[in-house]
Amino acid sequence: MAQSGRGKSAGGMAENQWPTHYIGRRAATAGLMACSGGTIRDISMTNDADAHDPLLLAQAWSQQGRAVALATVIETWGSAPRPVGSHLVIDEDGNFDGSVSGGCVEGAVVTEAVEVIASGEARVFSFGVADETAWQVGLSCGGQIRVLVQTVGAGLDLTSLSRLNELRAGRRAVACLTDLATGRTRVFTEGEEGPDDVKAAFVTGVSRLAADGRCFVNIYRPPPRLVIIGAVHIAQALVPMAEIARFSTVVIDPRTAFATPERFGGVDLIADWPEDVLPQRPLDAYTALAAITHDPKIDDAALKAALVAGCFYVGALGSRKTHGKRVERLQALGLTPDAIARISAPIGLSIGAATPAEIAVSILADIIQSLRTRPVVETVFAPGAGDV
């Protein structure tokens, strides 16, 4: 049995006060199949990626009448394989999905979670991975993790969980503030008034213990997207770079001579006008838009849509002289000077880029810098302006 720090004492304990259960070779290899004499079934071995979301499963299982617990990594040391904020969902029979480690402590976490379900009391557990076990699971040295286990109902109530999942599905940034003493969780949306720790999490995108150590803030930000207007040479270099950086990408260009599968194999490519495509694929605050056709008939409508939607990055290809004319056109479309000033033009960081690939590097660097330092963008559409 793992030792634990009960939630009511979690806030004031120093790191060395938390008892640690070390998972050795035997537990690492067999712990997921047999714990405390019972059978634990890992239901994650399916082909449906959507079925692996622990938060969606926690809601679905609860709505089916099953007793459910949610385990969350709240702190790590060493070479812990799963980041802070990772989840594992468990029901009263030991069925589980998700991950809080590389597989070496899940068995122990599931066993403790079943007991938490029975007691209804949130607990915080510390687990250590011995060096020999860490090597087996691909780590260069041992690590430690601290895991909060709370019930769905007494801790994270089903209404809050449903709201959290609905907001996530709508690509809204959400933060959960959980009291480690009780497991009670409050849900905040970006821009909503909340504690300083929650506001900081929205800015940094980092899940972490609150400053007083008594609460945990888990931040859920939508995965970033990059919309590229223009199936040009720069886009051919930019798409694979952006995907390596974990952006989902789409290329939009109505010119069928440019937007061909031969030039953009395996790419989400749409040969249509941006004003016809974007209403079907709404932009948001976690989307970047790069307009690189150098053709105002194509670029301007997309730029307007991106500014209205509050995209975290809006960039446009062209010289300063070209951009001056662009500003006049966008003002005529009803955009405010403050909104237009958000456009990065000439697009990309100033690194002396010359080739299409170098320009793509400068654009992606500019986008990443904006993502990591972005403020919350308010609506910028001028009164009386028409739709895209």
Per-residue pLDDT of the chain (388 residues; tens, 9 = 90+): 454 544 333 333 333 334 444 443 333 333 333 333 334 444 433 334 456 899 999 999 999 999 999 999 999 877 667 789 999 999 999 999 998 886 778 888 999 999 999 999 999 998 876 555 544 444 445 578 899 999 999 889 999 999 999 999 989 999 999 999 999 999 999 989 999 999 999 888 899 999 999 999 999 999 899 999 999 999 999 999 999 999 999 999 999 999 999 999 999 999 999 999 999 998 999 999 999 999 999 999 999 999 999 999 999 999 999 999 999 999 999 999 999 999 999 999 999 999 999 999 999 999 999 998 876 544 444 433 333 3
Q: Do residues 181 and 154 make contact, with C-beta atoms less than 8 angstroms apart? A: no
Distances (CA, A) of 67 to 305, 306, 320: 45, 44, 61
Tell how far CA 170 is from the center of its chain.
Answer: 13
Between CA 23 and CA 273 the distance in angstroms is 57
Q: Where exactly does CATH 3.40.50.720 map onto the chain?
A: 225-373
Q: Do residues 247 and 207 make contact, with C-beta atoms less than 8 angstroms apart? A: no
Query: According to DSSP H, which parts of the chain are helical?
Result: 25-30, 54-63, 106-119, 131-136, 158-169, 196-204, 233-244, 274-277, 296-309, 320-332, 337-340, 356-373
Q: Do residues 130 and 23 make contact, with C-beta atoms less than 8 angstroms apart? A: yes
CATH of 225-373, one of 3.40.190.10, 3.40.50.720, 1.10.10.10, 3.40.1280.10: 3.40.50.720
Between CA 266 and CA 62 the distance in angstroms is 39
Residue type, 63: Q
Q: Do residues 277 and 293 make contact, with C-beta atoms less than 8 angstroms apart? A: no
The burial class, CB within 10 Å (0-12 / 13-18 / 19+), for 35 is buried
Distances (CA, A) of 361 to 36, 49, 90, 98, 313: 54, 31, 43, 35, 15
DSSP at 52: G
